[in-house]
Structure 1
Amino acid sequence: MAFSRILAAFLGLCLAGVNTASAETRRLDIVGTGDGIDVLRAIAASFMQQGGSARVEVPPSIGSGGGIAAVGSGKAILGRVARRLTDAEAASGIVYKAIARLPSAFIVHPGCGVNAVTSDQLVAIYSGRVANWKELGGADLRIRVVRREDQDSTLTVLRASMPGWHDLEITEKSKTATTTQEAIETVRDVQGAIGFGPFSRPLEQGLTVLRVDGHYPTDADYPSSVVLALIYLNTLQDPDALAFLRFADARKAADVITSLGSLPVKP
């Protein structure tokens, strides 16, 4: 059975266990980054299946900065981020709680005919020096580069950890996606496209996840990853939010994180 069907069945079973009065149950949104959205939604579903009193929702991305602004202003109780807080953000009373380490994956449209590259080849692709997949042993297709904005957490991590990316000037012949979901869907829909984002098992459905220098994103020696964290104010007293934070540290949540190809971060 395809993984997407397994995940859908898992979420369905979890949600089926929620009390039938869930329509009247209080909603608790966790707002912010698009990185790790599949992971956090699966944790939320498991929390509700275990009897959590709130209906936890993980809405579409507003970015790490949007999540920080929402929590800091009191518009949201819980947020999600894929970068560390700045000193000023931490000084404002926002607490950072890491829950999962997500490998930074490179994905391509399956029609490209390539499933592995070297780090040098990635630099050549993103700089524009290699423009056709046939130059890498793939299909005779123009390479369509999908990038993220300079402040994106995955791009920041790639510049810090991926060989050759620190000073890489990404080709001007590229599309800038403003969310992780936009980047993924662009690669899924556009022949010849390549993009990057946090790894999760659903990426393996309808896309090709590249090996880099012989390593798959779930391998211990894979060179790059992003940390997904929850944020909240240090004055937090909301019982539903506190219950979810405790659950995020529990073994059940760690099992969900691992099942999706990420690594739990120990409290």
Structure 2
Amino acid sequence: MKKNLVKILAAAGMAVLTMGAIAGCSNSTAETTAAETKAAETTAAASETTTAAAATTTAKATADLKGSISMVGSTSMEKLATALSEVFMEKYPGVTVQAEFVGSGAGIEAVTNGAADIGNASRNLKDEEKAKGVVENIVAIDGIAVVTDPANKVENLTKDQLIAIYNGTTANWKDLGGADQPIVVIGRESGSGTRSAFEELLKLEDACKYSNELDSTGAVMAKVASTPGSIGYVSLDVLDKTVKTFKLENVDPTPENIKAGSYFLSRPFVMATKGDISKQNDNVKALFDYIHSDEGKELVKSVGLIPAN
């Protein structure tokens, strides 16, 4: 009887110990879970705080930008500069972007003497311009299209044929397989970036025999469209159905062909600054940050150009 009582007490003790151990494990697990939950909540809260802080910083930076940006220069860059100005002012309501289109030479002169923040040029800068502290910032690559009136039957020109037309050696379309019709040679005014690039690429500096020298891309398009037997050169991004575009060496002037290097008439679009971008004011820096961003590159493509990088 006594032995049985001892066994019963021993069993009861073991049960109490076991229940205590189970309770201890349960409490430990609950505490661990609670700690993990607490840590996760703290991490999430920290992440939300960081995100909110970043958004606040961005909003503050946007709000802090005030004032204006002045761009002067190439008429060929009008489409890009106008689109860039509109989008940038939407992103930064406190900044006004003013753009004038008076030719590449005038744009470089304006940024050189401090009359403009940015000088737009549809050509590379000259050594003498760089010597005055002007920096060449290439933002896009453009093709120069050679155009004629829609009735012209000639479809393709070789490089040598194009040179012969512009230096006056070839003066009638019949010599190129077309109608017996005089060639009316149209070009841009002296100081135009498009003219400089066109003549440099063909090694025709000061050698072109122009019938008309016009002061804008739009004027060249209108003159070519309305003049039988005419030929002219314009920026790739302004092409429309009012004119006919030549193939050059059997290659169409497309962004793909220009990027591949198979179309030989191409030139840079430059947004020149007096000194490096890093030395410009915050508004100008933000403008360059935008055009170099992924969104900015898409904008460049949307106007028919190739991003520079």
Asked whether the 8 Å contact 1:112–1:141 carries over to 2, the reply is no
Residue 84 of structure 1 pairs with residue 124 of structure 2: yes
Tell me the alpha carbon deviations over residues 233-252 of structure 1, each in whole angstroms, 9 at most, x when there is no partner.
Answer: 23854332222121111112
Q: Which moved more, 1:74-83 or 1:89-98?
A: 89-98
The equivalent residue for 2:215 is 178
The equivalent residue for 2:271 is 230
Asked whether the 8 Å contact 1:107–1:210 carries over to 2, the reply is yes
Count of residue pairs the alignment pairs up: 237
Larger of the two Rg values belongs to structure: 2
The equivalent residue for 2:307 is 264
The equivalent residue for 1:117 is 157
Asked whether the 8 Å contact 1:52–1:240 carries over to 2, the reply is no
Q: Which amino acid aligns with 1:265?
A: A
Which of these residues, 148, 154, 158, is aligned with residue 108 of structure 1?
A: 148
Q: Which moved more, 1:97-106 or 1:85-94?
A: 85-94
Asked whether the 8 Å contact 1:78–1:231 carries over to 2, the reply is yes
- The whole-number CA distance in structure 2 between the counterparts of 1:170 and 1:93 is 31
Q: Which amino acid aligns with 2:250?
A: G
Matches within 5 A, 1:116-265: 116-138=156-178, 141-149=181-189, 152-162=192-202, 165-166=203-204, 169-171=207-209, 174-200=211-237, 202-218=238-254, 219=257, 220=260, 221-234=262-275, 236-265=279-308
Gaps of 5+ in 1: 1-24
Q: Which amino acid aligns with 1:194?
A: I
Residue 141 of structure 1 and its aligned partner are, at CA, apart by 4.2
Residue 59 of structure 1 pairs with residue 100 of structure 2: yes
- The whole-number CA distance in structure 2 between the counterparts of 1:121 and 1:222 is 15
Residue 206 of structure 1 and its aligned partner are, at CA, apart by 1.4
TM-score (norm 2): 0.66
SS in 2 for 1:112: coil
SS in 1 for 2:94: coil
- The whole-number CA distance in structure 2 between the counterparts of 1:87 and 1:118 is 31
Asked whether the 8 Å contact 2:196–2:205 carries over to 1, the reply is no
Q: Which amino acid aligns with 2:242?
A: G
Tell me the alpha carbon deviations over residues 99-145 of structure 1, each in whole angstroms, 9 at most, x when there is no partner.
Answer: 01111210112122333222233233223344344554445543211
Asked whether the 8 Å contact 2:122–2:197 carries over to 1, the reply is no
- The whole-number CA distance in structure 2 between the counterparts of 1:157 and 1:141 is 28
Gaps of 5+ in 2: 1-65
Aligned CA distance change for structure 1 residues 29 and 168 (closer, same or farther; 3 Å): closer
Aligned CA distance change for structure 1 residues 190 and 245 (closer, same or farther; 3 Å): same
Aligned CA distance change for structure 1 residues 194 and 52 (closer, same or farther; 3 Å): farther
Asked whether the 8 Å contact 1:104–1:196 carries over to 2, the reply is yes
Asked whether the 8 Å contact 1:109–1:192 carries over to 2, the reply is yes
The higher-RCO structure (CA 8 Å, 6+ apart) is 1
Asked whether the 8 Å contact 1:132–1:143 carries over to 2, the reply is yes
Aligned CA distance change for structure 1 residues 168 and 230 (closer, same or farther; 3 Å): closer
Asked whether the 8 Å contact 2:123–2:269 carries over to 1, the reply is yes
Could you say what the CA RMSD is over the residues aligned between the two structures, in angstroms? 2.8
More helix by share: 2
